[in-house]
Structure formats: C-alpha cells, structure tokens
Amino acid sequence: MVKLARRMDTLPPYLFAALDERRRAIEARGVEVISLGIGDPDLPSIPSAIEAVQREAARAENHRYPRYDGLPAFREALSAHYARRFGVTLDPERETLTVIGSKEGLAHLIWAYVEPGDVVLSPDPSYPVYAAHTGLAGGEVYSLPLRAERGFLPDLDSIPENVADRAKLLFLNYPNNPTGATCDLDFLRDAVEWCRCRGILLVHDAAYVEMTLEGEPAHSVLEVDGAKDVAIEFYSLSKPFNMTGWRLGAAVGNAQAIAALGRIKNNTDSGQWHAIQYAGAAALNNGPEAFFAEMNGIYRSRRDRLSAGFDRLGWEVEPPKATFYVWAPVPGGDDRAFAARLLDAGVVVVPGSGYGEHGKGYVRLCLTVSERDIDRAIERIAALTPSPFAR
C-alpha cells in the first residue's frame, strides 16, 4: 500500500460526510429520519435562475470551456447587486471573481497565502473548511473563541502580539454559521482597522448575508471605508437563492487577493459552467429582494415554530436573528452523546464540537424542513425516556 502524504494526518473526516453516513445507517434499520442537520434548503431555487439555465443549457456556445475568471455577465450583475444592496462600488474586472461555490474559493485562498509556520486566525466554532485547509497548507490555526456572553463575536484585542505578527489571514463570518449571530458595522469597522494596522488579510465569509430574520439587514465588510485595502469577501448564491447544488459564488474586494486566488484557480479548475453563471446573473438582476423576503419569512416562521416546541420541552434556546441555524445548548453538556441519542430517535442534529473546541456543549439545528416535520421532530424528542430536560 502506498503511504499517504503526512498532510493527510491533519485532515479529519468531513463533519457532514460522517453525519450523512450515520444517517444512512439509521435509515437502513428502517427508521425514518428527520434531518435538522445539513443546511440545505428544501425549497425550489429562485425562478429566474431556473428559467435562465434551461435557456442557456440549449446554447451550443455554452458547452465549451468557461472563462477562468468568470463570465462577465455574472460579474457585472454581482457588481450591480453590491451597488444596490450595500452601496459598494466594485470593478467587475479587477475586484470580482467567480468561484465554484464559496467553499471552493475559501479553501483555495488559503493556499495562495499560507505557508508552513504561518498563523491563520479563525473563529471557534466555525465552518470546518477554514481550519482544514490551513492544516493542509502547513499553517497553524489560532482559535478565536465565540462565546454567548460576547454575542458570539471574537475579541481581537485578546490576540497576543507575537501571534498577530505571524498571522496572514483573519476569518470572519457574519451572519454566523453555526451560531446564527450577527454583527454591526462598527464591529466590521474595528476589524478592518485591526487588520490594516497589522498587515493581515481579512477574509469575510458572507454566505448568509441575505438571511436576516430580525433587525437591520446584515452588512458587507466592504461597506467600511477603505476595506478593499485589506479585505476580501465571499458571496454565495447557495443558501439565499436556494441554489446549493448549483455551486456558484464569487470573491469580491481586494484586487491583489482576487488576482492571487485567480492564479490558484487557473492551475486547479476550469471555472463554472457558463449556463449556471448566466442563471446567477438572472437571479441577481431580477429583483432578488422579494425572493429573499419570502424565504426569510418562511425561515422566521419555522424558527418560531421550533422555539415554541423548545418551550414545551423546557429547552432554553435563544432564537437566531439571522441564518437558518439554531445554536442550542445541550442539557448535561455532552453534545455528541445528545446528538447520538436524538439520531437513534430519528432526528439528526449536528454536535457543536464538530465546529471546534468552543462548540462543545451545543448542537446546531437547521430550519430546512417543513413546519410539520419540525413538529414531528419535537414530538420524537419529547418521547425520549428519560427526558434529557428533566430537572
């Protein structure tokens, strides 16, 4: 047997792949599973995208290799959306780049900047890709705890100067996965200035920026004056447009970072299919605000339904103000044992420790099932004997 590269030792099994494997094993025993696990919208994609991809798939010119940097029509539509939505001006040629879903772009950006011994500042808990690819690139993750008492915001001032001196990247993600937390523009302004003073690239994962359930709409980091000097942002069509399977997103912001990411991608992939990029342009150009409002209304209703069920169980959980995730503290504190117990009852939730050390004691639930299935999941949890919520 050929020996694997040592870098594979840094790579744990992907959280959601392992979760899906366990779900299939439960289903094989004849148990019908209600999955509140993976954040995959259950509702149809935005109609304008569906219409456009059907049309563009029939055009022979779209069957050839796509442009490496992305279709101009998509990048121009994205720039126009940023101008309307955030008041941010982007140069489509220099400050935007199509990615095959923001996951791919986030992973490849790390390879453009991180060398062995470099530090990446990453929130904890966080999307697993940040830490996984830092390890593959030979970098070191310095975890920034996200705690409830701070509103799940990292304390940048607590980072030791000798750590900051070695740091290349700071990852932020608001609205946040997995906690559902939001941040205001003042926080982003402070983060931009913190990175500027230390020569660190701020990487804002804005996959959920269109998914605000309460309060003012979420912000782009590029709304901060001068942010493009030190920041790159990843915008995704996956969750807000119900297009997870389409694999379409974009990197925007700092032109040097965009060019560096483009060089990595040019040597790695051949770009996203033009028909999908035309569909993305149609989605962005045809009043997506009404679609966002409709989807967010549905998720808000589901959130409230789940919260009412938690109240009946005696499970004290703070309803999220954004995203379609609910970050719930676990009775007794053992998130993996709690998730396993629910899985045996046919309800999938994600143990918080899969998102990092500071995710221990929580589980993440997704609002990507019908209200009927939410009610059924609550009934199954309520039927557990003995009750995990007994005092």
- Residue 389 domain-assigned (yes or no): no
How sure is the predictor about 168, in pLDDT bands with cuts at 50, 70 and 90? very high
- Residue 81 domain-assigned (yes or no): yes
Query: Residue 123's beta-bridge partner residues?
Result: 144
- Per-residue model confidence as pLDDT tens digits over 350-372: 999 999 999 999 999 999 999 99
- Per-residue model confidence as pLDDT tens digits over 95-150: 999 999 999 999 999 999 999 999 999 999 999 999 999 999 999 999 999 999 99
Task: Give the integer Cα–Cα distance in Å for 307 and 68.
Answer: 45
| Angle, alpha carbons 376-382-387 (nearest 5°) | 155
DSSP H or E stretch at residue 120 = strand 119-124
Among 259, 286, 313, the domain-final residue is: 286
Same domain for 86 and 233, yes or no, is: yes
Quote the pLDDT of residue 385: 86
Same domain for 88 and 226, yes or no, is: yes
Task: Give the integer Cα–Cα distance in Å for 369 and 372.
Answer: 8
Q: Is the pLDDT of residue 72 over 70?
A: yes
Quote the pLDDT of residue 21: 77
- Per-residue model confidence as pLDDT tens digits over 29-71: 887 899 999 899 999 999 999 999 999 999 999 999 999 999 9
How sure is the predictor about 346, in pLDDT bands with cuts at 50, 70 and 90? very high
Query: Residue 67's beta-bridge partner residues?
Result: none
The domain that contains 163 carries what CATH number? 3.40.640.10
Quote the pLDDT of residue 65: 96
Which string of DSSP letters, residue by residue, matches 174-207? SS-TTT-----HHHHHHHHHHHHHHT-EEEEE-T
How sure is the predictor about 167, in pLDDT bands with cuts at 50, 70 and 90? very high
Within a 10 A sphere around the Cβ of 359, how many other Cβ atoms?
A: 22
Query: Residue 229's beta-bridge partner residues?
Result: none
Q: Is the pLDDT of residue 16 over 70?
A: no
Is residue 323 within 8 A of residue 174, CB to CB? The reply is: no
- Residue 390 domain-assigned (yes or no): no
Which range among 3-17, 185-199, 285-299 shows the weakest confidence by mean pLDDT? 3-17
Q: Is the pLDDT of residue 17 over 80?
A: no
Task: Give the integer Cα–Cα distance in Å for 99 and 348.
Answer: 30
- Residue 238 domain-assigned (yes or no): yes
Same domain for 89 and 196, yes or no, is: yes
Task: Give the integer Cα–Cα distance in Å for 278 and 254.
Answer: 24
Q: CA torsion angle for 201, 205, 210, 216 (degrees, to 10)?
A: -60
**Half-sphere exposure of 54 toward its Cβ, with a 13 Å CA cutoff?**
6
- For residue 91, give both structure tokens: 């140069």
Q: Is the pLDDT of residue 15 over 80?
A: no
Residue 240: is the preceding peptide bond cis (ω within 30°)? no
Same domain for 281 and 329, yes or no, is: no
Q: Is the pLDDT of residue 90 over 90?
A: yes
Mean pLDDT computed over 336-353:
93
Which range among 15-24, 62-71, 312-321 shows the weakest confidence by mean pLDDT? 15-24
Quote the pLDDT of residue 14: 67
Quote the pLDDT of residue 122: 98
Q: If you ran DSSP here, which 8-state letter would residue 327 be given? A: E
16 to 13, 23, 35, 351: CA distances (angstroms): 9, 10, 12, 11
pTM of the model: 0.96
Is residue 72 within 8 A of residue 277, CB to CB? The reply is: no
Which range among 16-30, 80-94, 223-237, 297-311 shows the weakest confidence by mean pLDDT? 16-30
Q: Is the pLDDT of residue 237 over 70?
A: yes
Owning domain of residue 313: 6-44+289-382
- Residue 388 domain-assigned (yes or no): no
Place of tokens 């840094």: 10
Within a 10 A sphere around the Cβ of 115, how many other Cβ atoms?
A: 10
- Residue 175 domain-assigned (yes or no): yes
Same domain for 105 and 146, yes or no, is: yes
- For residue 16, give both structure tokens: 């959601």
352 to 128, 177, 179: CA distances (angstroms): 11, 11, 9
Mean pLDDT computed over 304-326:
97
311 phi, psi to nearest 5 deg: -60, -40
The fraction of the chain above a pLDDT of 70, given in percent, is 98
Which string of DSSP letters, residue by residue, matches 57-86? HT-GGGGSPPPTT--HHHHHHHHHHHHHHH
What order of strands is seen across the sheet that includes strand 362-366? 325-329, 362-366, 350-351
Same domain for 155 and 73, yes or no, is: yes
Same domain for 148 and 85, yes or no, is: yes
Task: Give the integer Cα–Cα distance in Å for 343 and 381.
Answer: 10
Among 261, 286, 311, the domain-final residue is: 286
Among 253, 286, 319, the domain-final residue is: 286
Same domain for 306 and 362, yes or no, is: yes
3-state secondary structure of 234: strand
Is residue 86 within 8 A of residue 109, CB to CB? The reply is: no
Task: Give the integer Cα–Cα distance in Å for 118 and 140.
Answer: 6
Q: If you ran DSSP here, which 8-state letter would residue 92 be given? A: T
The domain that contains 33 carries what CATH number? 3.90.1150.10
The residues, any chain, with a CB within 8 Å of residue 105's CB and separated by 6 or more, are 97, 99, 234, 249, 250, 251, 261
Domain count, the chain: 2
Mean pLDDT computed over 5-23:
77
- Residue 1 domain-assigned (yes or no): no
Q: Is 160 exposed, middle or buried (0-12, 13-18, 19+ CB in 10 A)?
A: exposed
**Half-sphere exposure of 45 toward its Cβ, with a 13 Å CA cutoff?**
21
Same domain for 159 and 300, yes or no, is: no
Same domain for 282 and 317, yes or no, is: no
Quote the pLDDT of residue 390: 77
Same domain for 235 and 315, yes or no, is: no
Count H helices and E strands in the chain, helices first.
12, 12
Same domain for 31 and 76, yes or no, is: no
